Amino acid sequence: MKALILVGGFGTRLRPLTLSVPKPLVDFGNKPMILHQIEALKAIGVTEVVLAINYQPEVMMNFLKDFEAKLGIKITCSQETEPLGTAGPLALARDKLIDDSGEPFFVLNSDVISEYPLKDMIEFHKSHGGEASIMVTKVDEPSKYGVVIMEESTGKVERFVEKPKIFVGNKINAGIYLLNPSVLDRIELRPTSIEKEVFPKIAAEKKLYAMVLSGFWMDIGQPKDYITGLRLYLDSLRKQSSPLLASGTNIIGNVLVDETAKIGEGCLIGPDVAIGPGCVVESGVRLSRCTVMRGVRIKKHACVSGSIIGWHSTVGQWARAENMTILGEDVHVGDEVYSNGGVVLPHKEIKSSILKPEIVM
């Protein structure tokens, strides 16, 4: 079975992290974002994943080589020369997605984190016999999204409503699709939106069905949602009693600590913290609701919350970082410095406090 992951463009919303690596390679829960999806696809028998990209193919290709071997799955790139929207890339990758088996193929949006109940989705798709299945997820504020209106009992999609002003439903497109090869015949090789042009046509022919996503869902393409997404992801690990979660007297709530990371005496870590490979958390450090990426050193008595600390950065002694502070790669916060929402580009030193949210370039 095949799958396409829509990777897309520059990842500007996740800057400054995406100034160092392309977005799919930004770590989430201690592994590259895209690996969560590739592993879920591998687990249900997908043999080939096509990444639809339009930026930095060399970096992606290098990464892929490592993972193709480790995971035992074929990974290729389909590179857009102009941005093709959310449907165009499928036409571009047509030859890779169709084979003689006639099987449907998955399409995933690379920014999405969820439980990936892909096996259930295959069953759902077979049972309704339609041309396309989409996952939908319930949200509190549907007016910000594209709402999917469906027949409750069968899941048959009636229509899509973009950013509805009055309440029409609370289920939105979760960015996970299972499509028959015939869908490709509906897509031209030009910038095309799958939600606005392709799906509405299939829905009008009553061949589009929606399945409500069980478990959590988050679009982690921007820092605020990345942090919320980590909480949801770690919560789902807890529900599965995952051995990956850390335990100990210095751990509160759900915490992920890479086995190569070191944590000192007298720390208090959690809830909702991920500490990456090679990190050193010195003694007396307080971390909550934050991600600490590979190779970071947090010095003694520092306090970090609601923030993302980028690869190989350091946070000084008694420093305080909070309120959506995002440190890019190789950023060094001096001792006793305070950052309230500082967003710092790579290779910088922060010697004086940042009192209100701002970008430091």
Contact (Cβ atoms closer than 8 angstroms) between residue 336 and residue 319: yes
Give min distance, CB of 16 to its own copies, in A: 7
Specify the DSSP element, H or E, that contains 28.
Answer: strand 27-28
Name the residue type at position 20.
Answer: S
Answer whether 325's CB lies under 8 Å from 222's CB.
no
**Which of 211, 308 has the CB closer to its own copies?**
308
The pair of three-digit structure tokens given for residue 28, joined into one six-digit string: 């989430």
In the complex with its own copies, the residue whose CB is nearer, 9 or 264, is: 9
Token duo for residue 199: 């799906």
Residues 138/212, Cβ–Cβ less than 8 Å: yes
Nearest distance from C-beta of residue 194 to its own copies, angstroms: 22
Q: Are 218 and 234 in contact (CB under 8 A)?
A: no
In the set 38, 91, 346, 354, which binds its own copies (CB under 8 A)?
346
Out of 42, 299, 320, 348, the residue judged to bind its own copies by CB under 8 A:
348
Burial (CB < 10 A; 0-12, 13-18, 19+), residue 244, is middle
Q: With respect to its own copies, which residue has the nearer C-beta, 42 or 348?
A: 348
Least Cβ distance, residue 297 to its own copies (angstroms): 16
Using CB under 8 A as the binding rule, whether residue 343 contacts its own copies is answered as yes
347 near its own copies, rule: CB under 8 A: yes
What is the DSSP secondary-structure string of 286-350? EEES-EE-TT-EE-TT-EEES-EE-TT-EE-TT-EEESS-EE-TTEEEPTT-EEESEEE-SSEEE
62 contributes a contact to its own copies by CB under 8 A: no
Give the range of 182-190, 250-258, 263-271, 345-353 binding its own copies by CB under 8 A. 345-353
CB of 319 to its own copies, least distance (A): 20
C-beta separation of 218 from 228 below 8 A: yes
Which segment (107-115, 200-208, 305-313, 344-352) binds its own copies by CB under 8 A? Answer: 344-352
The amino acid at residue 166 is I
Report, in Å, the least distance between residue 361 CB and its own copies: 5
Q: Looking at residue 166, what DSSP letter applies?
A: S
Tell the smallest beta-carbon distance from residue 308 to its own copies (Å). Answer: 14
For strand 132-138 and strand 217-219, is the pairing parallel, antiparallel, or unpaired? Answer: unpaired
* Nearest-angstrom CA–CA distance, 342 and 346: 13
Residues 4-43 interacting with its own copies (rule: CB under 8 A): 9-10, 12, 15-16, 19
Q: How far is the CB of 357 from its own copies (least distance, A)?
A: 12
CB nearer its own copies, residue 9 or residue 278: 9
Contact 257, 248 (CB under 8 A): no
CB nearer its own copies, residue 204 or residue 359: 359
254 vs 325, beta carbon nearer its own copies = 325
Rounded to the nearest whole angstrom, what is the least distance from the CB of residue 174 to its own copies in the complex?
27
Where along the sequence are the contacts to its own copies (CB under 8 A)?
9-10, 12, 15-16, 19, 343, 345-348, 359, 361
